[in-house]
Amino acid sequence: MSAPAGGSDHFIMRVKAVTRDLVKYCGGVVRSGELTGRSKSEVSRWQHVETPDIIDLPATLALERECGVPLVTTVMAEMHGRRLTDEASARSAASINAHHSALLRGQGELSIHMAAALEDGTITPAEAELLDRSASDLENQLRAFRSGLAVVKANGPACAAAPLRVVGEH
C-alpha cells in the first residue's frame, strides 16, 4: 500500500520506523512475509524511507498479533492524540528496576549516537536514521517503564522480585 497523497511525512516516517521494529520483533523480513502472505521485497519496502509504500492494516494486525506489541497501532493512536495501555507490561510492576535499567541504557545509546552525529556539526540522513532507531528503542523502553509505574500508582508499592546480586554469585 502506498502512502496516501497529502499524508503527513512525519506520520509516514513514524509508521515506517515502527514497522521496521515490528518486522524485527517478528523474526525479520522473510518471517514477516510468511506471516502476512507478502513477498520479502514488499515487506522491505514498508520499512525503507526511500519508498512510498507503507504497511497495510491486515499486515499490521498479523504482525502485531504475532509479536504481541501494537507498535503501528500505538503510532496511529498517538497521531490522534490518544494513548494505548499495555496491560501485559502493566502487570510486570515487579520488574520496574529492569525497565529503568533498560531505559538508562537506551538513553546512553541515543546520547552516544547524537554526540557522534553532531561531531561535524551536520546530521546526515543516515545519522538521522540511526538516531531514529535509537529513539524508537528508547520510546519502547519508556513505555514499558511508565506502564510499570502506573501499576504501582494503582495497586500500591511494588518490590523487586529478587534481591540484586553480584554477577557470578551462587
Q: Which of 130, 93, 88 is nearest to 112 (CA)?
A: 130
Give the chain's length: 170
The pLDDT tens digits of the residues spanning 30-63 come to 999 999 999 999 999 999 988 999 999 999 999 9
CA dist 30 and 65 (Å) reads 17
Helix, coil or strand: residue 53 = strand
The pLDDT tens digits of the residues spanning 145-170 come to 887 777 777 666 665 444 434 455 44
User: pTM for the complete prediction?
Assistant: 0.55
Answer for the pair 145, 103: CB distance below 8 angstroms, yes or no: yes
Instruction: Please list, in sequence order, all residues whose beta carbon lies within 8 angstroms of the beta carbon of residue 48, skipping any fewer than 6 positions away.
Output: 16
**Scanning the structure block, which residue is given the C-alpha cell 528508547?**
138
pLDDT band at 26 (very low <50, low <70, confident <90, very high): very high
The pLDDT tens digits of the residues spanning 128-143 come to 999 999 998 899 889 8
CA dist 12 and 102 (Å) reads 27
37: left (phi over 0), alpha (psi -120 to 50) or beta: left
pLDDT band at 87 (very low <50, low <70, confident <90, very high): low
